[in-house]
Each structure stands twice: as structure tokens, then as C-alpha cells.
Amino acid sequence: MKKFFGVFVLAAFVVCGGARAQFVGEGNGSSDQVDSLKQVVETLSNQVQETEETDLNQKIWKDRAKYFNIGFVKQSLTSKDDDVKYKSSMGVNMTWGKTYYLHKKPLWNMVKIGLDWSWVDFNYVKYSSVEETYEDDGFGDWMDYGDYYSGEEDFDLDFGCHQLEYGMQIGPSITVNPIKQLKVSTYFRFQPSMSIMLLDDEAYYGFVPFFNFGAAVAWNAISIGVEGRWGGTKYDGVSVDDEEDGAYVEEEDFEASDLVDTFTQRMRTKSFRVYISFRF
């Protein structure tokens, strides 16, 4: 703004001086001087405009390339082997990364294509409700867990159901800057993750390839976004074998492996995230 004001004052001075020279000068020399001074003013104005555009481009794109997201997660976990579905009661997410733009100048002076790399992505969910996904076979609500375990007032999980994931995201993004500091972006990312779960008295672990699709609206350093995420894999599971078979086992025949069961189970995860992002 100061630069623009300085150019404006200089232009006014040059025009006034040129007008005066036109009246007091002789021949064509005065008009040539005025034309030269006008060219100088135009050159200075163009330089100021280019400087302002460079500063604005720096603030919009380069200074806002990194992001830190904190969000709320709604998630479900479905077992393909046991036909059981877990629904989350709460969940949080944290993502930290950077957008690497593939070209310096925006296309059509408003669009940039980039590559997003989130080197940190934490996702934690606590599941509360459990339901079966069997089709209705005439038994009605008898297959509901709350009625099936009729010997107890409520079906309570021993340790609760929790899922913790750590992964990295990478994928293309498109960002549009229609006016000033406003930016609208959409992206698609691949997210390889390590997942650990505790479901009642069973522990699971596995490598899960997730896919993310989302969009965000940003103004200056603050943005709000939504994201869908899905993926599945075969988990390795471990549980304590507390079943009693009524047989007497001599102490010398006892092995630690008799207390542990190992198994595998196919599970699929779907997530919906709403987050606030800080760009810097």
C-alpha cells in the first residue's frame, strides 16, 4: 500500500511538472520529456504491481503449504467372518503434513495442482455399540446381543472396544483461489496404516491400506474440512483361553501356549472425519 501511494505521488508530481514544462518549454522538446516521464511512471507502476502480486502469491500459496489438522471421527468396524459390526461412540484424529505444488504460477491465475504428503496421521476410536449383520431369519430380535445374553442385565465389554491407527497419506490435490485469501481444495490420498485393536478380551493387529477422499475451505491460516476413509484387511488376533474342559492337567504338562489362542479375522473400517486445519 505504501509503495502504491509513493507511485501515485510521483505520478502526480511528474504530470504536474510535465504540464508546466509544456507551457514554458519551446518546440517539441518539452512534449518528448513529458512522454519520457510518463513511460517512467508506467514502468514504476508495473514494478509495484508485480511486487504486490508476488507478495500475495507468497502469502496464499507458499506460506500456507503446511497443515495441521485436529478432527472428530465417526467410525464403524465390520467383521466379515463373524457378521458383527461395531459403531464408535467417540473418536479423534490428528494429521500433520505439507502440500507440494507442482508448478509455480497458478493456472488461470487461480488454480494449482499439488501433491499432499501427510507424514503423521493418528486415529483413535472407542466403540460402544455392537450389532449383528445377519439377515432376518424369522427369529426377529432374538439375535440381538442384548437379548441373546439374557443371563445378564446388560452386555458389557470387559475392557471396552478400542482402535488405534498410525499411518501416512500421499496423493494429488486441486486448490482453487477465487478471491483474496479464500481457497477451496479437494484431494484423494492413499494411506498405509498400522492398526491395533482391543475388542473385549481379544487383541488384533494388522497392516491396513486406507483410501481417503476429502475437501476443505480455507481463509488465511484457518480451514474446515470433511473426509471419508475406508479400508480393510485380515487381522491377526490373540486372546486368553479361559475355557475349562473339565480335564485334569498335570503341572509338568502345562505350557504357556495353552492359555493363549491365536486366530485371524477379516475386518473392514469406514470413517467420516470433520476437522479444523491450521495452515502455516
CATH number at residue 144: 2.40.160
For 104, 255, 267, the CA distances from 232, given in Å and listed in that order, are 38, 34, 6
Average pLDDT, the chain: 80
- Residue showing cell 478380551: 201
Pairing state between β 84-101 and 182-199: unpaired
Instruction: Please check whether residues 215 and 252 belong to one and the same domain.
Output: yes
Torsion region of 252: left, alpha or beta (phi above 0 gives left; psi -120 to 50 gives alpha): alpha
Q: Are 200 and 87 in contact (CB under 8 A)?
A: no
Least confident of 60-64, 86-90, 261-265: 60-64
Number of domains the chain is built from: 2
Instruction: Please check whether residues 79 and 200 belong to one and the same domain.
Output: yes
- Percentage of the chain beyond pLDDT 90 is 50
Instruction: Please check whether residues 12 and 138 belong to one and the same domain.
Output: no
Residue 116 CB contacts under 8 Å (≥ 6 apart), including other chains: 97, 98, 99, 100, 169, 170, 171, 172, 173, 187, 189
DSSP assignment letter at 259: G
Give the range of the structural domain holding residue 48, as residue numbers without chain letter. Answer: 2-60
Tell me the average pLDDT across 92-111. Answer: 94
Q: Quick one: angle between helices 29-60 and 2-24, nearest 10? A: 170
The 10s digit of each residue's pLDDT in 160-218 is 899 999 999 999 999 999 998 899 999 999 999 999 999 988 999 999 999 999 999 99
Q: What is the pLDDT of residue 153?
A: 46
Q: Please say if the pLDDT value at position 27 is more than 90.
A: no
Instruction: Please check whether residues 172 and 238 belong to one and the same domain.
Output: yes
- What pTM was computed for the model? 0.72
d(CA 57, CA 10): 26
Domain's final residue, options 34, 60, 86: 60
The 10s digit of each residue's pLDDT in 203-259 is 999 999 999 999 999 998 999 999 999 999 999 999 986 655 444 455 555 565 667
Helices of type H across the chain: 2-24, 29-60, 145-148
* 59 pLDDT tier (thresholds 50, 70, 90): confident
Q: What is the pLDDT of residue 16?
A: 53
- Percentage of the chain beyond pLDDT 70 is 70
Domain's final residue, options 60, 77, 108: 60
d(CA 259, CA 272): 38
Instruction: Please check whether residues 38 and 86 belong to one and the same domain.
Output: no
Instruction: Please check whether residues 152 and 271 belong to one and the same domain.
Output: yes
Instruction: Please check whether residues 10 and 91 belong to one and the same domain.
Output: no
Instruction: Please check whether residues 190 and 244 belong to one and the same domain.
Output: yes
DSSP assignment letter at 103: -
DSSP assignment letter at 246: S
d(CA 219, CA 234): 41
Instruction: Please check whether residues 211 and 104 belong to one and the same domain.
Output: yes
How many residues make up the chain in this entry? 280
Instruction: Please check whether residues 273 and 145 belong to one and the same domain.
Output: yes
The 10s digit of each residue's pLDDT in 125-146 is 999 878 765 554 444 443 444 4
* 21 pLDDT tier (thresholds 50, 70, 90): very low
Q: Please say if the pLDDT value at position 7 is more than 70.
A: no
Amino acid at 137: D
Instruction: Please check whether residues 242 and 190 belong to one and the same domain.
Output: yes
Q: What is the pLDDT of residue 110?
A: 93
d(CA 67, CA 225): 12
Q: Are 173 and 122 in contact (CB under 8 A)?
A: no
Name which residue leads in pLDDT, 45 or 52.
45
